[in-house]
Amino acid sequence: MSLNVKPTTDAAPTTGRRLLPLVALGTALVLVTYVTPMATIPATAADLGAGPVARAWILSSMSAGLATALLATGVLGDTFGRRRVYVAGLGALGLGALLCGLAQEPLLYVAARVLQGMGGAAVLACGLALLAHSFAPGPERVHATSVWGASVGLGIASGAVLAAALDIGSGWRETYVAVAVIAFALLVPTLRALPGSSRTHARAIDVPGLVLLVAGMTLLVSALTQGRNGIDTPTVVLAALAVVALVAFGLVEARVRMPLLDPELLANRRFRGATMGSLVLGAGIIGMSAFVPTVAQVGLGASLWTACWLVVLWAGTSVVSSLLVRHLPHPLEGPFPIAVLLVGVAIGQACGYGIATDSSPWRLAVSMVVSGVATGFLNAVLGRESVASVPPDRAAMGSGANNTARYLGAALGITLFVTVATHAGDGLVDGWNVAVLVSTVLTLAGAAAIAATGLGGRSERAH
């Protein structure tokens, strides 16, 4: 069976030109709202009366929705049509943002953020698959996935700037209202531009597997979130239930005729390398960058604007490097380029080590720029590899699996970084330095594992 994704219809060039900016904007909007609480957590928590546990959920609730729904929405998109699932996700993203802006207590806010995560999952999983459907393999698709990768960085940078620029009134509600307005405004032009791309013969959905996967991912991210303030009984119970659900998922998948994840894909080293690369990227630099606004403001006394500009440096640099991928003379395919780029990320992370309480916040700028360059290349490469390593009719599943790994890794990385930074050393700055070392070693270990996975298994080039 060929694993090369090819357009399933003769999409006109004009359709692709209309589609690409809309999918890029939708993807950027998901990342805008994803990063918003990282900069606005002090104002948000104070306004909602959130304690330590609720603060952890404020930061992680969208990650829970993303990790829960990415693979599921990919499967649904491949089965029922990526266009309708994408548009439904965009609507859910806007509705969740509106509810966040109206929330008066943590419970409604967290529920709305989970809804945003589920909507964002549909946008990420089906958006990239729609691009693979509309752009032929080769330079056209490299261009499209480079723009898609750049939109990830653009969304993070825009979210940080928007959070600081709208530091008026409540200091955070206005950001969510703006996201809701943009999401709803995109609905009509997106619906008109998106082509249909479902299977000719619908694939049966593995309902028990889908339910167990959603339950397992929800419980796992919940356990990671709950554990940020110490290992307690709820954390242990959630972790145990997650293990049970995921083991049951594995048993079900081994017995069904059409599993959610085809075992043949796991033998493909490009699929394994791309999935592991997203997991390591999330657990490493995304976990670290999420804590930059906190250490800058609380540990180094920086303003909100300064803290946000540090994140913008990382994300903005990644936008530029993502767009440069299409100009490289040789394609970056397979596990080895991913491993090398992760080493570049680790070098950038290491540059953030060694700050002191009297250090300038801009001391972290070098770390953000160096890691941002490698992150941008990775965003473009991982996006292309996620759809190039699966059959054409499962492109949304491939994108969903890849992004699931990224945001599950982010949930793990944020939990690990926060735990180490707040418990190691004599203060937040000392804890930051220890956490940077741990995160850097984690990225390097992941790069070594990905390089090793490139030595075995089957791989096919995309034509």
Per-residue pLDDT, averaged over 192-220, amounts to 72
Are 95 and 186 within one domain?
Answer: yes
The pLDDT mean for the chain works out to 83
- Scored b (16 or more CB within 10 A) or e, 194-206 reads bbebbeeeeeebb
Q: Is the pLDDT of residue 395 over 90?
A: no
Per-residue pLDDT, averaged over 377-404, amounts to 82
Q: Is the pLDDT of residue 16 over 80?
A: no
In a domain, 121, yes or no: yes
| Domain that residue 219 falls in | 205-257
Range name among 343-347, 385-389, 441-445 with the lowest pLDDT average: 385-389
**Cβ 271 vs Cβ 389: under 8 Å:** yes
DSSP assignment string, 326-371:
GG-SS---SHHHHHHHHHHHHHHHHTTTT--TTS-GGGGHHHHHHH
**Cβ 90 vs Cβ 187: under 8 Å:** yes
Q: What is the CATH number of the domain that holds 94?
A: 1.20.1250.20
Distance between first and last Cα of the chain: 14
Are 111 and 214 within one domain?
Answer: no
* pLDDT value at residue 130: 85
Q: How far apart are CA 269 and CA 458, in angstroms?
A: 6
Q: Is the pLDDT of residue 12 over 50?
A: no
Are 33 and 68 within one domain?
Answer: yes
Q: Alpha carbon 117 to chain centroid distance? A: 10
Sign of CA dihedral 59, 150, 396, 408: negative
End-of-domain residue from the set 216, 234, 257: 257
**Degrees to nearest 5, angle at CA 119 with 26 and 311:** 55
Q: Is the pLDDT of residue 256 over 80?
A: no
In a domain, 463, yes or no: no
Q: Is the pLDDT of residue 64 over 60?
A: yes
pLDDT 10s digits, 295-326: 998 889 888 788 888 888 998 899 999 888 87
Are 248 and 272 within one domain?
Answer: no
pLDDT 10s digits, 410-448: 888 888 888 888 888 788 999 999 999 999 999 999 999
Q: How far apart are CA 409 and CA 235, in angstroms?
A: 18
* pLDDT value at residue 346: 97
In a domain, 3, yes or no: no
In a domain, 4, yes or no: no
Are 299 and 392 within one domain?
Answer: yes
In a domain, 364, yes or no: yes
Range name among 232-236, 346-350, 399-403 with the lowest pLDDT average: 399-403
Going by the DSSP 8-state scheme, the letter that residue 459 receives in this structure is -
Are 171 and 293 within one domain?
Answer: yes
Q: Residue 385: pLDDT band by 50, 70, 90 thresholds?
A: confident
- Scored b (16 or more CB within 10 A) or e, 329-365 reads eebbbbbbbbbebbbbbbbbbbbbeebeeeeebebbb
* pLDDT value at residue 226: 78
Are 58 and 167 within one domain?
Answer: yes
Are 233 and 380 within one domain?
Answer: no
In a domain, 271, yes or no: yes
Q: How far apart are CA 251 and CA 347, in angstroms?
A: 40
Are 251 and 262 within one domain?
Answer: no
Going by the DSSP 8-state scheme, the letter that residue 196 receives in this structure is P
In a domain, 460, yes or no: no
End-of-domain residue from the set 257, 272, 287: 257
Are 67 and 142 within one domain?
Answer: yes
Q: What are phi and psi of 367, to 5 degrees?
A: -60, -45
Per-residue pLDDT, averaged over 144-167, amounts to 80
Q: Can you give the pTM of this predicted structure?
A: 0.79
Q: Is the pLDDT of residue 163 over 60?
A: yes
**Domain count within the chain:** 2
Are 366 and 263 within one domain?
Answer: yes
Per-residue pLDDT, averaged over 350-376, amounts to 94
Are 101 and 40 within one domain?
Answer: yes
End-of-domain residue from the set 257, 272, 301: 257
Range name among 42-56, 208-222, 385-399 with the lowest pLDDT average: 385-399
In a domain, 420, yes or no: yes
Q: How far apart are CA 205 and CA 390, in angstroms?
A: 17
